[in-house]
Amino acid sequence: MRRFLMAAATAVLSLTAIQTFAADRLETVLEQKVLRVGMTGDFKPFTYLNPETKQFEGMDVELAQSLGKALGVEVKFVHTSWPNLMADLTADKFDIGMSGISVNLERQKKALFSTAFMVSGKTPITKCENVAKFQTLEQIDKPGVKLVVNPGGTNERFARANIKNAEITVYNDNVTIFDQIVTGKADLMITDAIETMLQQKLRPALCAVHPEEPFNYAEIAYLLQPDLRWKAYVDQWLHLAIKSKEYEAVYNKWLK
Task: For residue 70, tell me if it sits in a domain.
Answer: yes
Residue 202: CATH number of its domain: 3.40.190.10
Lowest mean pLDDT among 20-24, 125-129, 187-191, 199-203: 20-24
Tell me what the mean pLDDT of segment 212-217 comes to. 96
Query: What per-residue confidence (pLDDT) applies to 8?
Result: 40
Based on the domain organization, do 82 and 193 belong to the same domain?
no
**Domain span holding position 162:** 122-208
Quote the DSSP letter at residue 115.
P
Based on the domain organization, do 75 and 115 belong to the same domain?
yes
CA-CA-CA-CA torsion for 96, 88, 85, 55, nearest 10 degrees?
Answer: 70
Task: For residue 202, tell me if it sits in a domain.
Answer: yes
Based on the domain organization, do 107 and 192 belong to the same domain?
no
pLDDT in tens, 16-48: 444 444 448 999 999 999 999 999 999 999 999
Based on the domain organization, do 108 and 195 belong to the same domain?
no
Based on the domain organization, do 59 and 153 belong to the same domain?
no
First-to-last C-alpha distance (Å) of the chain: 64
Based on the domain organization, do 73 and 98 belong to the same domain?
yes
Based on the domain organization, do 115 and 38 belong to the same domain?
yes
**Edge-to-edge strands of the sheet including 206-208?**
167-170, 146-149, 188-192, 122-127, 206-208
pLDDT higher than 80, residue 117: yes
Based on the domain organization, do 175 and 71 belong to the same domain?
no
Task: For residue 29, tell me if it sits in a domain.
Answer: yes
Q: Which residues are bridge partners to 96 per DSSP? A: 37, 224
Based on the domain organization, do 46 and 170 belong to the same domain?
no
Report the domain count for the chain: 2
Task: Look at the alpha carbons of 234, 239, 243, 249 in this order and tell me if their dihedral is positive or negative.
Answer: positive
Based on the domain organization, do 18 and 109 belong to the same domain?
yes
Cβ count within 10 A of residue 175 = 14
Based on the domain organization, do 88 and 24 belong to the same domain?
yes
Cβ count within 10 A of residue 111 = 20
Task: For residue 213, tell me if it sits in a domain.
Answer: no
Query: What per-residue confidence (pLDDT) applies to 256?
Result: 74
Based on the domain organization, do 99 and 202 belong to the same domain?
no
